Structure 1
Amino acid sequence: MSAINTDITADGRQGFIAIDWGTSSFRLRALNERGTLVAQSDSANGVSRLDRDGLLPFLQAEIAGLPDAARAYPVILCGMIGSNIGLRAVPYAQCPLDPATLADQMASISATQDESPRMHIVPGVCARGATGELEVMRGEETQIIGWLQQADAAQKQRSLLCLPGTHAKWVQIRDGQIHAFTTAMTGELYALLSEHSVLVQGEQQFDDTAFLAGVEASRSDSTSSGALLQQLFSARTRVLDSKLHPQHSAAYLSGLLIGSEIRHAVAGENHPPAVQLIGSERITRLYRQALQSMEIECHCHDGESLALAGLAFFARQLAPRQTAPA
């Protein structure tokens, strides 16, 4: 959450503490009532790296280290902290849904029995795919809500979002709602194949030409669901055939996987002309290259900034809750 748009974050009423707490990372930002950043903390103490009994003490210690005024701010949390390994297992909200509906399903918790609720966990989102299989996300929904806060009317009406990562999400926006989404295990599959298979051998060096060659090779996968399994071995055989430098095997493999993911995500006549890429520059760069090579328009958005904008939206929804009569 590096770049902060105060036009989005400031609510004119109260400050808040925004926490994006994932499996392997913890990010805290405290903003005052003007949307100005007053404190921040980044840690590798993700949910999976702490005992469950240690989550609340860790959070309390982080808040205790904030400036005096910020310690009383409401706390908005998203990510795996709302899973069954987090502070509380918050049920998934069902698609389709709009930002306000998602905010209504936040779980409010207290540090002690005597304390009024001041910590609020954003629920994850679930949907049923075309085959009826369950799709889930935790954390990405907050970035999506952040994106919706700055989208124009046409974009809210119909858009296709891509959030690359270990488990990439492709999200359909319809009428200002998260309508549906699918998951592609591209990042995890790349890690497994590049580290534990015969496809990548020896020291590697990323090469854009090899990456784009992989994207181009993915074309043969666009009409057959099983073609990728056959195409993968070309990362090995192209080296043997002197068509690919051995140090560029991983780049080629990355292009093959990302290219296949994109082609399946935008297949058919119903996708919009532009893909909204949400994430860090490091991870969206490759998707941008692949999309541009396919002549598909795309726009990149900083994932940390949108996560903060999303958490700010949820913080604004708290005011009616906290001021309503009992």
Structure 2
Amino acid sequence: MTDNFLDQGKLICVDWGSSNFRAFLLDDKAELVDRIYFDKGMLELKPDEFEPVLFDLLKYWPTTPIILAGMVGSQKGWRNVKYITCPVKMHDLSQNLTHIVNAQARKVAIIAGVDTEASGAQYDVARGEETQVIGAIEMIGQALEKQAVFCLPGTHSKWMKIADKSIVDFSTHMTGELYDLLIKHSILAPQPASAPKIEDDEAFIKGVKCAKADGGLAHHIFSARTNMLNGELQQNEIEPYLSGILIGTEIKEMQRAIENMQHVYLVGTQALNKLFQLALQQFDLPSSLIDGEKAAYTGMSSIAKQANL
């Protein structure tokens, strides 16, 4: 590391989830200087292991303030940080940081998660996604509508409703986890002798269109088997077809739940953003793509700046 590199780093943003650790070193303009990825999620650590692991991973970076988001603030994380109930603005998050006393006497703080009962259906929670949405709002700037919808695709997708830059409500969908269970532990799991998995937009779109029809999710899922039996699908088309059914069902339900939804901001990886965008097109819903990683560290840096961390 050069002195010039060390001089650039002014803030460290850490997205610490259940299975992965991502750290971002930012300069005084919140631009990315360096990053660290590590497969040491919070589920592998005991509460007293977080501090030594964190400082060991960051030992080559400058001793700047550290702000963290994600499951690191959960019951099984470094500290159990209480949720803030919607509606939530950036100010609410910046004024409710949990500061961690540590051996290096550094400024270290964890961002709270958010919870909601606004939808009336059931209690819901988020840790990390609220920070990504705050970052996405900052990235969009003045172009953001007064009311907007954000979707964060993933293992547990989040759909967040925004009004006047506040998170007013959201819901979680276990779409990614259901997909993983189906292709690994159900009758639809690929056979050992089957052809390798393919990326197939046509099969994916066919699955989305199936989800749009009446019949229900469980019935639609079984159509993956019957369509293979009658020759409508090949074995290596099952996975994109199932993905289309699950994502299509998620979008159909959100289109019903969110009144007058006309546009969706997708905040995630490039691959998932494009997949959800393709599915949204089948519902005639336009979308904008936002890099989830940049949204995460933009959100953390904006919260840190407002909190004078």
In the alignment, does 2:109 pair up with 1:120? yes
Q: Do 1:157 and 1:176's aligned partners in 2 also have CA atoms closer than 8 Å?
A: yes
Alpha-carbon spacing, 1:307–1:269, altered in 2? closer, same or farther (3 Å):
closer
1:14-36 residue CA offsets vs partner (Å, 9 max, x unmatched)? 92111111111111112232434
Superposition CA RMSD, Å? 1.9
In the alignment, does 2:30 pair up with 1:35? yes
Alpha-carbon spacing, 1:236–1:77, altered in 2? closer, same or farther (3 Å):
same
Q: Distance in 2 between matches of 1:220 and 1:252?
A: 14
Alpha-carbon spacing, 1:154–1:32, altered in 2? closer, same or farther (3 Å):
closer
Q: Give 3-state SS (helix, strand or coil) of 1:160's partner.
A: strand
Q: Give 3-state SS (helix, strand or coil) of 2:13's partner.
A: strand
Q: Give 3-state SS (helix, strand or coil) of 2:277's partner.
A: helix
Q: Do 1:200 and 1:236's aligned partners in 2 also have CA atoms closer than 8 Å?
A: no
Further displaced range: 125-134 or 302-311: 125-134
Q: How does 1:281-320 map to 2 (within 5 A)?
A: 281-319=270-308
Q: How does 1:232-247 map to 2 (within 5 A)?
A: 232-247=221-236
In the alignment, does 2:258 pair up with 1:263? no
Question: Identity over the aligned pairs, expressed in percent?
Answer: 35
* Match of residue 199 from structure 1: 188
Q: How does 1:174-213 map to 2 (within 5 A)?
A: 174-202=163-191, 203=194, 204-213=197-206
Q: Do 1:160 and 1:271's aligned partners in 2 also have CA atoms closer than 8 Å?
A: no
Q: Distance in 2 between matches of 1:206 and 1:33?
A: 41
1:43-85 residue CA offsets vs partner (Å, 9 max, x unmatched)? 111111233322110112123221xxx21x1110001111111
18, 22, 25: which one aligns with 1:23: 18
Counterpart of 2:44, as a letter, is R
1:203-259 residue CA offsets vs partner (Å, 9 max, x unmatched)? 4323211111000111124xx7xx111111000000011111111111111101110
Q: Which runs of 4+ in 1 moved over 4 A?
A: none
* Match of residue 140 from structure 1: 129
92, 95, 101: which one aligns with 1:104: 95
Q: Distance in 2 between matches of 1:201 and 1:59?
A: 39
Q: Distance in 2 between matches of 1:239 and 1:25?
A: 36
Q: Distance in 2 between matches of 1:218 and 1:35?
A: 42
Counterpart of 1:63, as a letter, is L
In the alignment, does 2:74 pair up with 1:79? no
36, 47, 55: which one aligns with 1:52: 47
Unmatched segments (≥5 aa) in structure 1: 1-13
Alpha-carbon spacing, 1:55–1:155, altered in 2? closer, same or farther (3 Å):
same
Counterpart of 1:233, as a letter, is F
**Residue 143 of structure 1, CA deviation:** 0.5
1:141-173 residue CA offsets vs partner (Å, 9 max, x unmatched)? 111000111334463410011001111001100
Q: Give 3-state SS (helix, strand or coil) of 1:267's partner.
A: helix
**Residue 318 of structure 1, CA deviation:** 2.7
* Match of residue 8 from structure 1: none
Q: Do 2:100 and 2:108's aligned partners in 1 also have CA atoms closer than 8 Å?
A: yes
Further displaced range: 175-184 or 53-62: 53-62
* Match of residue 159 from structure 2: 170
TM-score normalized by the length of structure 2? 0.91
TM-score normalized by the length of structure 1? 0.86
In the alignment, does 2:80 pair up with 1:89? yes
Unmatched segments (≥5 aa) in structure 2: 1-8
* Match of residue 6 from structure 2: none
Alpha-carbon spacing, 1:304–1:310, altered in 2? closer, same or farther (3 Å):
same
Q: Distance in 2 between matches of 1:135 and 1:23?
A: 18
Q: Distance in 2 between matches of 1:104 and 1:74?
A: 16
